[in-house]
Chains A and B, each alone.
Chain A
């Protein structure tokens, strides 16, 4: 089982460049999300999706775009990278809307470390 796969694992960008962090899951999870992890800040939700064609903003959405054209994929786009976006990014997925059943447990990818110079 591949679970949640993130690519690339490492990336260095210059200010103003654009890039896409890829996230794919093979568990047929409806819910997918992106977090950034910064020292002393924990994980902060950037964007999330509860199904194909549906996305919504989290705590820190500015500077990031997402789309969800398929159940499996949830790419995160940085249109014009800034040094403040230097971080470790995690994609996570789960079954959606099943909190009461105990099914909404997040499965995380291994992370993507991004440095913006």
Chain B
């Protein structure tokens, strides 16, 4: 069965600092990979996605993620965090186009 692991439940960073959120997946082939963000009381918004090709993908709000096949990872990064980035971040996997599996999420706190 597929699984998605986000090992960090909660991360706190200072505004302006860099950020990396970790995501590992378990699947036999290369799945389709996503990062979503959820602001408090809201639905989920797509940040970026990886389907094929260049393993470094750019998303909205200055986020990027790198797919590393050898490590089964798809870590999310941002060079300089803004206070408005405080939210919950979810990594997701889709192998068939019909079933999306989500990680348990990483909650980000940004301190001034």
Chain A: residues with CB nearer than 8 A to chain B?
Answer: 4, 31, 33, 35, 40-45, 48, 50, 56, 58-59, 90, 92, 96-102, 104-106, 108-111
B97→A33 contact, CB < 8 A: no
Residues on A with beta carbons closer than 8 Å to the beta carbon of B43: 4, 90, 108-111
A110 (CB) vs chain B CBs: closest residue: B43
List 15 A-B pairs, Cβ < 8 Å: A31-B98, A35-B102, A41-B104, A42-B90, A43-B44, A59-B101, A97-B98, A99-B97, A100-B52, A104-B32, A106-B36, A106-B46, A108-B44, A109-B43, A111-B41
Other-chain contact of A45, B9, B97, B100, B105 (Cβ < 8 Å): B100
Count B-side interface residues using an 8 Å CB cutoff: 28
Chain B, 75-112, CB within 8 A of any chain A CB: 90, 92, 94, 96-105
B44→A45 contact, CB < 8 A: no
Residues on A with beta carbons closer than 8 Å to the beta carbon of B44: 43, 90, 92, 106, 108
Chain B: residues with CB nearer than 8 A to chain A?
Answer: 4, 6, 9, 32, 34, 36, 41-46, 49, 51-52, 90, 92, 94, 96-105
B44 (CB) vs chain A CBs: closest residue: A108
A-side interface mostly:
mixed
B100→A99 contact, CB < 8 A: no
A100→B99 contact, CB < 8 A: no
A104→B94 contact, CB < 8 A: yes
Indicate whether A58 sits within 8 Å of B97 (C-beta atoms), given known contacts A90-B44, A104-B32, A108-B44. Answer: no
B49→A105 contact, CB < 8 A: yes
B100→A33 contact, CB < 8 A: yes
Extra inter-chain contacts (19) besides given A42-B103, A104-B94, CB under 8 Å: A33-B100, A35-B102, A42-B4, A42-B90, A42-B102, A44-B102, A50-B98, A58-B99, A92-B44, A92-B100, A96-B98, A99-B32, A102-B49, A105-B46, A106-B46, A110-B43, A111-B41, A111-B42, A111-B43
